Chain A
């Protein structure tokens, strides 16, 4: 085994949840997606059944090939050609890491540190993530276990503190544009959850495999509860138009917190918690990249490729976009929808069908 650590049910749930929600802590990707009106929070609620559908192929695949990640499974199904699929998934994780890093760096170099070059933030957090990677999956998931309650707590705290500035009337009228755009929005929200692939990559390391279903259910229920809370609080604070125009909506919400003329301008606190959360997200995607590469290349130990892949990630995160607008254009739903759908749904479905036709899987392990 490349990784001999075991992680608990709670740790996987936290990793999936934290990794999905932490970008929302600053950006609000939902504001780009249809229906682009006050009903976006309904889309987030509706994303739950879509999540459940999307997760099915990956889940069935990982049940069919017990103890194998999707990369190893592809090699079992297709033989040598399966390496190509493995390499594609490794690329996907690499790309995701780079995107997260870039989003992180863009925020830091535009708001709190306008004069510092973006590479400083990207490379320093990658360096610390590499240190976490050296210690293995257990360590990353334990850091996640510490950070996630802090993040959840601070989301709740922020919502409670801005409650007096909220005006829930902006949420009316409900379903103004009809039901179909809202449902489409729910679909898009679910396709953004590339964390679905964690299930296929991390389930082999779950200490009690029977709890796999609970992992999936609990993590998506958590997401479905907290994501609308964030969206509603931002919407109710700024109104629809303002929300859609802002680059960092939730961050702006935190900025307007003012309690008793004393607790105000706590954006440095936001920054601190965001760094913690993004650190975990970067670490886990970076880890999956390294693990995937090691599985494709049949390495005995993945530690030797941590630094090389790290340098690739850093340069890629600079290269993927010329500016923040270009980055935003790419990660908006128009492109990322199909890109993510290909990896989350199409490829696993294809693998599932082929493995059923060739009768591989069940009897292997």
Chain B
């Protein structure tokens, strides 16, 4: 029975890929429905198989298919690590497929790519040789590129997709040589790579290449610039899948290469770049999430932040494993994995809700939303569950993951050496800052978009989405709550993955109800905390109800201290509410002035002019400014040079050839003299 799990999952992958073709054959009008329904069914099946694999102890099994390049048959394998990520992928995929059923026909044109996207990700997880891994990874990149282009008539969408495919190309350019460096002769199987871990410069090259190749896809700073625009450009269910699952698949590749294929004998220093880049991304992403004015860009920036937190955990796990501190390694890796799972749930939930909001209110801009809680009460309730995870409020899923990560980072000075101690302190401080920024971003998102009064008529007329979307949101919220209330159980479920990556299991640290930083001591007991918080909340509710007058009445909303409203707006102009930009201003002035080069310019009309005053804010991502602008200027220099060479005069062209000939001959002559 257990031996059949891998073939069954392989069949699921094949069916997902075939479903793409089948839905093309179904023709326009019907392809969206077919792709979504089929994906939903297959994802549910795949998720079930992954759970069975994890529960049954995750015995590793492998399979060699007869197909592939000549002499290079595809190898598949299923073990604890891939099963853990498969579970996450299939859960998110099922929710996204259910949400896509509520699509109103607008995603029909690119619907066939949806199951292919899922199939590519699943193939990456099942891959047991370099070729299959790269194949799955690239299918995933290309299919998601097509999905991002769904609304291709919008120039912004096209620009975002172009940036995205460019970064995917960079990833491929790094990932393929990385696999070639790991390969043993012409043997690309992971089993052979494990027996010959890389050493010396090859090991360093593998580290750099996988950090760029997989890190760029995961959204690891400073290669995260594609992430906010691409997530904003894609339809809701696609960005949910990209943020919830695709970034995790990239992290899986990172883990597979760094923890598994490179062997346990690598130096401690390997963890440092992950910690540094993670801390950088966490703060930058958190700050950007407070500044952006588009709901999905806010969520995508927050993805950068959470990926940064997970990367910090992975970095410390790598260092602790090298330093032979199994307890710390388990804690750090377990925290990273738990947070990846939690983030996959609540961020997918928030992206789906953002898609529903965009459909209902006609916009994603914070300064045109507001008051959605009146028209979309069910959605708002579910979004609150996700936002609690985003803000890491106990007992949400986000809190469990971040708490475990914090425990690991606070124990990290045990790694020894001044360098690691300083690094751990800096990482802890930046993580705390990032967590606070995330909480602020969540409050801003809920407060501006869902509370208050509608800023536009369209926002006032928003209604809850259809049944499939609500079911997807409720499913993700339920899973997220379960992970939050029983993080111990979730981590036990993921235990085989931790065991495989760092060599020790989670059993000493994790009970079914608690997670402890040190074996067999007190720790975080989420259900107890939930009961206490519930009791306190109930008490407050009781007191409030007991001591206040019954019945409800609605008064005028506070208008931010503005003067008397005009007659045609008896409750004041909703646009004068405290908005997203107002909320961001203190943080922008305190932090972003130096970190993101935030500059404000006020355009004040002259006396007598009738136009309104404007305040413009300009923000720049440092990665954009220092890394990509620099690369862009090099690129244009190279192309200018090529241009110059192309338009040389006849005599100059001859002279160039003549000089090249002379240099060549001089080199030959010099070599002969030696």
A binds B: no
- Chain A interface (Cβ < 8 Å from any Cβ of B): none
